[in-house]
Structure 1
């Protein structure tokens, strides 16, 4: 038997051990390949969403590749540790270090080659379906199937390099081990797990700092980075130190610990959590990132829907005071001609507003408008008019989004125009009429006051906007790609960007459709990346269970000799496996709920727990399937050792 045949037989005989690893690796290759098929598709160049789609898919392939590197490196290191006894026997039989290294190298290359071939083959079978689903989700024109030579070469080359580098790198894992240490394998007695009180307290402090930064301080990028660093470090200390301390406290409770088989699984958990701290930490971080990304996309999709529904103006045309009136009229006529050609019934109004900056950087602003024009808009939309108020009174109308951002009711406002200060007593109202302006905030004053504000000493310095809002009479629900409002909005917006225009056009359907496409793209990419994270996290757990299987089999066999029944063993093993599988999901869900609220608030998006719970529930459901499979295989193996 030649040496390559020996390596091949080793892989074949350990097929059960390598199955989960090979399946996960093949799945990563397949996803990488399908993204590459999309990136190199010849029709993408001419697509309106082509540039953004290609960029998104490219980012996704990089994420998949980096994660694949870390996953393969971790998996191989786990396999090598589980085979220490085998390497020790080979050494006693006369195998040299370079021969063992060559054996490991050949096995890794063989597994990598199988993963690459099977991944590309399955990707080829699914590429047409992938293109069809992706274009439907992103709402692009259907992409025809093509022979993806570039994608195949990129995938094969990238993963061949990945497996080659890792195969060389993993040779360092066993180079310094002595023969006696190899022969002991995983059967060496474990030291009693101990928690470092200082590190446990440090973990609590770090988690508290992260929570405080997110909740107390108004979030900014620097605060988000601090929260991320302290949260990740605190999570690691939670598993490596704090969890051991919690189990120790549980062991001291004799009423719980000394009941049935609780003593067995509680004692074992203190070892398993300590041994698997890094793996549990890694799974938690991976699931938390995927859950937060999914929750973020779902929340933003809800946000763009609400922005569309809160805007009663299908189109608006705005110009400034220094515009050419003749050209403005020509552009208005063009818009109305297109509306009539499409057969859309509408109402048109004319509104003047004064732009006012509330802060020096212009990030916070409002528009001032006269009461008569506000009442005219209210009559067109059958809503409540401004009412009657005095010279120093005003109405502050805000869209629902702007009202959430203002964080409470304002009772008064101080402004200064042309060097003249003005103070107003305010009536607050949440009203869709305020969607007329980008800021979503309208200060409605009397007509007399408006003329005074517009005609001050430095009237030339005051920015007066003239807006023509168009209200469609038959607007229903969310727009679709082929709806007249959507097609007209895209057409007019494109014309407005390409032509030298006196004003600018705002289309709610165009804004909704473009944002919907963008987030649909991220959602589509995120689903496949989340699938990789989910399958890989389950593989991590499966590898660790398999590594510890020999020791667990010996322990349960010894316990069965002194009276432990198969049913009691099943209950104890099930609890331990469930803790390893589900604790990371629960911790990740809690972290997602804590983090996403402030992040979405910083982006002015309404935070709802629904998207996070949906994402976490999806991971929980997938983890349940992996748990049932891993439990069945584990208990079957252990049952075979019971007497």
Structure 2
């Protein structure tokens, strides 16, 4: 987004400037060629005045347009961030539990979590999976390659069902990197293939990398490394080589109307100790985002209001400065016979001929009028 924002902004500014300095003048020149309409009534004076005003005020009009566009665009973006549920993409599951050390403590905390949901009479769906910690032996100095985590594709699809996301399928004997965030441009694992090994195992497998998965199907956690999704048969192969200390457990739970279920989250924060498990939930992250974006919306609204007042002030002072000149021009036109009043006898005449008939006071177009 940052790479595209500046070129787009630059092109919009240039396009807005040329819209007033070139496009509008070109349209008026095209209108002058339509003599049937151009020479009718006061259209000639109006077109000439518009051409002069646009040439004289092109820079001011383009500046005001850009200021107004920035005002409404920034306010709309901040309002969309505040009212939109962007947290659902980052935290697919309403509640997630991740093991840190022993699996026994994980099972106890998971049971406490489910009992708390049942006590609150909240219907939920859940899925538990085991991840395998791995590393790349060919890149010992790379922190990313030393913190790999393997997940089978079947577990990914079940977690995707909890989050309402589509399933994926992998070619045989391949792996796919799953982004920890839906933001584009964050992909630390690239290349055509990757070497994978399990701790305390001498066997290394070189696996081709398929297309990465941009949308995560599990909640992010600082205790989960860089996730690789592999087919079930490859996962079974690594699982036979993995020791108990290399197995990590994750449980995802989803339920409806998670924004209104604040009491169960407060209760779980009291009863679940985070020494041996990592407890993440959608509601707390969503509230944190709303607090941040509410402050940004508050500041952005007043900044936008100042920009909007600045644009209005520019137009007002320009109109006020040109008022005296316009008054003199209309006074000169009135001396030539241009007036807003019409005689009762000529009320049936087209108002477009009032300017020319005021020259010779005739009731039909003549050479003097035209």
The TM-score bracket by the shorter chain reads 0.5 to 0.7
Q: Deviations over 1:522-573 (max 9, x none)?
A: 33443444344334423322222222112212212222333434289xx99x
Q: CA deviation at 1:413?
A: 7.4
- 1:330-341 map, 5 Å: 331-332=109-110, 334-336=112-114, 338-341=116-119
- Flag the 1:247–1:556 CA change in 2: closer, same or farther, 3 A: farther
Match 2:196 to one of 417, 442, 448: 417
Q: 2:50 corresponds to which residue? A: 269
**Is 1:551 matched up with 2:325?**
yes
SS at match of 1:515: helix
Matches of 2:34 and 2:290, distance apart in 1? 57
Q: CA deviation at 1:351?
A: 0.9
Name the count of aligned residue pairs: 320
Q: CA deviation at 1:317?
A: 0.9
Matches of 1:425 and 1:500, distance apart in 2? 35
Q: CA deviation at 1:267?
A: 1.6
TM-score by length of 1: 0.40
Matches of 1:315 and 1:327, distance apart in 2? 17
SS at match of 2:122: coil
Q: 1:296 corresponds to which residue? A: 77
SS at match of 1:468: strand
Matches of 1:541 and 1:438, distance apart in 2? 50
Matches of 1:420 and 1:237, distance apart in 2? 60
- 1:365-514 map, 5 Å: 368-370=150-152, 373=155, 391-392=172-173, 402=182, 414-418=193-197, 419-423=204-208, 435-438=217-220, 443=229, 445-446=231-232, 448-454=233-239, 465-472=248-255, 475-476=256-257, 479=259, 483-484=260-261, 486-489=262-265, 501-514=275-288
Matches of 1:517 and 1:436, distance apart in 2? 24
More helix by share: 1
Q: CA deviation at 1:436?
A: 1.8
Q: Which has the higher contact order (CA 8 A, sep 6+)?
A: 2
Matches of 2:71 and 2:143, distance apart in 1? 35
Q: 2:334 corresponds to which residue? A: 560
Q: 1:520 corresponds to which residue? A: 294
TM-score by length of 2: 0.63
Q: CA deviation at 1:343?
A: 4.1
Matches of 1:422 and 1:278, distance apart in 2? 60
Matches of 1:548 and 1:533, distance apart in 2? 23
SS at match of 2:85: helix
- Flag the 1:532–1:468 CA change in 2: closer, same or farther, 3 A: same
Q: Deviations over 1:40-63 (max 9, x none)?
A: xxxxxxxxxxxxxxxxxxxxxxxx
SS at match of 2:317: helix
- Flag the 1:273–1:357 CA change in 2: closer, same or farther, 3 A: farther
- Flag the 1:228–1:342 CA change in 2: closer, same or farther, 3 A: same
Matches of 2:296 and 2:164, distance apart in 1? 38
**Is 1:351 matched up with 2:129?**
yes
Q: CA deviation at 1:417?
A: 1.3
- Flag the 1:421–1:276 CA change in 2: closer, same or farther, 3 A: same
Q: CA deviation at 1:519?
A: 2.6
- Flag the 1:244–1:376 CA change in 2: closer, same or farther, 3 A: closer
- Flag the 1:384–1:522 CA change in 2: closer, same or farther, 3 A: closer
Matches of 1:328 and 1:397, distance apart in 2? 24
Q: Deviations over 1:69-104 (max 9, x none)?
A: xxxxxxxxxxxxxxxxxxxxxxxxxxxxxxxxxxxx
- Greater gyration radius: 2
- Flag the 1:541–1:314 CA change in 2: closer, same or farther, 3 A: same
Q: CA deviation at 1:245?
A: 5.1
- Flag the 1:525–1:549 CA change in 2: closer, same or farther, 3 A: same
- Flag the 1:376–1:435 CA change in 2: closer, same or farther, 3 A: closer
- 1:1-400 map, 5 Å: 219-220=1-2, 224-225=5-6, 227-228=8-9, 231-232=12-13, 235-236=16-17, 239=20, 241-242=21-22, 246=26, 249-250=29-30, 253-255=33-35, 257-301=38-82, 303-304=84-85, 307-308=87-88, 313-320=93-100, 323-329=101-107, 331-332=109-110, 334-336=112-114, 338-354=116-132, 368-370=150-152, 373=155, 391-392=172-173
**Is there any run of 5+ residues in structure 1 with no aligned partner, and where?**
1-218, 407-411, 573-643
Q: CA deviation at 1:421?
A: 1.7
**Is there any run of 5+ residues in structure 2 with no aligned partner, and where?**
137-141, 186-190, 198-203, 343-350, 353-370
Matches of 1:513 and 1:541, distance apart in 2? 41
Q: Deviations over 1:214-271 (max 9, x none)?
A: xxxxx435x54455456546645665x4367536744753536434433222222233
Contact 2:173–2:208, Cα closer than 8 Å, also in 1: yes
Q: Deviations over 1:396-424 (max 9, x none)?
A: 9999x95x959xxxxx9744313522237
Matches of 1:442 and 1:562, distance apart in 2? 84
Contact 2:25–2:54, Cα closer than 8 Å, also in 1: no
Q: CA deviation at 1:466?
A: 1.8
CA-based RMSD: 5.0
SS at match of 1:436: coil
- Flag the 1:380–1:542 CA change in 2: closer, same or farther, 3 A: closer
SS at match of 2:217: helix
